[in-house]
Amino acid sequence: MAHATEQVAGTAKRSLTPIMLAAAVGSALEWYDFFIYGTAAALVFGDLFFPKFDPSMGMLLSFTTFGVGFVARPFGGILFGYLGDRWGRKPVLVMTIVLVGGGTFLIGLLPTYDQIGLWAPALLAVLRLIQGLGAGAEYGGAVILAVEYAPEGRRGFFGSFAPMGVTVGNLLAAGVFGLVTMLTKEQLLSWGWRIPFLVSLALVLLGIYIRMRVQETPVFTDTAKRQPPVKMPALAALRRHPRNFAVVVGARMAENGLGYLFPVFGLSYIINTLHLPRNVALLGVFTGNFVEIAGILFFGWLSDKVGRRPVYMGGALFSALFSFPFFLMINTGSTSLIVIAFALIMGIGGGAMFGPQAAYFAELFGPRLRFSGFAFARELGSILAGGPAPALAALLVIWLDGAPWGVALYVIALSLITLTAVWWGPETNTSDLRVDYSTAVDDSAQEERAAIPLRTSL
């Protein structure tokens, strides 16, 4: 076992740079595709695909199509998680980025409602389902690639490269849409909105090239030699580790819900409810994502020192406490206060949850169940949190005649769910990723073999 540890560590160190690049860049490219849809839903899809409704209802319907993609994500997690646990992490990462990138490129070619009527929103929903199917395992695969290569004691930091890539993707989406919104409204609605979607093809091809050049993780290779794959790993993860599975779902509520609510709904709220210029809203989101990159890396590193749970819980608590101040700052209409509000909620609240999450979720499952357990549980959380968040927030604002306080309470509710789930979960930063505890007879024995200390207090 000592020899295997040295071999894995040596391989990880030799391969560290290309592996981290594959995790970060691939994740960035995939989430550029996903977030560009959310930005378009906030800015133009109401006019393009739902023009027969009043602006508020059109915006709500466009956010509903945003949520459609989340329905397919657990199925993508099951399917590609199974393939990732059976065939390896690398081939699945190539397949998922093709699905998401291909769906995004085709959205850029779609005719609008004025051209083909109801077929336009129907085709939009179909392409969102294709995106969601690939996204159901894309992030989990990128995380596992990074974490299974990371040196012992530094999994939090190196694992944070994958969520950092997510934020880079969001940053790219805001930047590209910031450029196209410099067009006139007629140009934007006519052809300008297509540019970010069509450009994604080049980005996806680059991501495929990078991922094709990486090697399979040493943890998977070593496990495949020693033990056969589990027949139904997603169900095995749920049956054998119900607590860990539930922790992942609960931990996603604030991280995922707020991760979509602030950059997607926040963008729409500033533009459509407060009627502030688009560039003010985009500057806030752009700055928030830029600060979140630093936050993710810092809090991922911090989780290696003090544990995953304290850092994660701190992010959830901050998000709850800052919910009302966030909207108070936004409602001033001051550009500087809007920028500061996004920087704080995304850099501290989002960063403290998203940073340690990669290593934490990967450490909760053994190597034969890791891809399936991670992806399936994570995407179930996405259905409950991220998918409906922008639409529910928009509906709350409509019900309260433009006031955001219902959304602030929604933020608090999601944050408290996550705080409770992570408090209930085990600490994992000292666990052994190579130990396969899926064959143990009961949960206590499994956790013992995985070397996961089961403390539930800080």
What proportions of the chain, in percent to the nearest 5, are helix, strand and coil? 80, 0, 20
Check residue 451 and give its pLDDT. 39
CA atoms of 163 and 143, how far apart (whole Å): 8
Q: 126-144, pLDDT tens digit by residue?
A: 888 888 888 778 888 888 8
Residue 359 tokens read as 């290593």
Residues 6 or more apart whose CB falls under 8 angstroms from that of 262 comprise 285, 288, 326, 342, 345, 346, 350
CA atoms of 434 and 373, how far apart (whole Å): 16
pLDDT category of residue 387 using cuts at 50, 70 and 90: low
Check residue 54 and give its pLDDT. 58
- Classified by CATH at the fold level, domain 2-449 comes out as Growth Hormone; Chain: A; (1.20.1250)
Give the residue among 224, 241, 73 at the shortest CA–CA distance from 148.
224
The per-type count for the chain, helices as H runs and strands as E runs, is 23, 0
Q: 363-381, pLDDT tens digit by residue?
A: 998 888 888 888 888 888 8
What is the mean predicted confidence (pLDDT) over 155-165? 89
DSSP symbols for 134-163: HHHHHHHHHHHHHHHHSPTT-HHHHHTHHH
Check residue 458 and give its pLDDT. 36
Residue 409 tokens read as 């309470």
- Flag the least confident range among 20-24, 92-96, 413-417: 20-24
Q: Which residue has the tokens 């911090």?
A: 302
The answer on pLDDT for 333 being more than 80 is: yes
Count other C-beta atoms under 10 Å from residue 367's C-beta: 25
Phi/psi of residue 154, nearest 5 degrees: -135, 20
CA atoms of 66 and 207, how far apart (whole Å): 24
pLDDT category of residue 15 using cuts at 50, 70 and 90: low
Residue 428 tokens read as 């994992």
CA atoms of 312 and 290, how far apart (whole Å): 20
Type of residue found at 409: L
What is the mean predicted confidence (pLDDT) over 156-169? 87
- Flag the least confident range among 38-47, 180-189, 415-424: 38-47
Domain boundaries in the chain?
2-449
Q: 239-254, pLDDT tens digit by residue?
A: 888 899 999 999 999 9
What is the mean predicted confidence (pLDDT) over 217-230? 81
The answer on pLDDT for 417 being more than 90 is: yes
What is the mean predicted confidence (pLDDT) over 327-353? 94
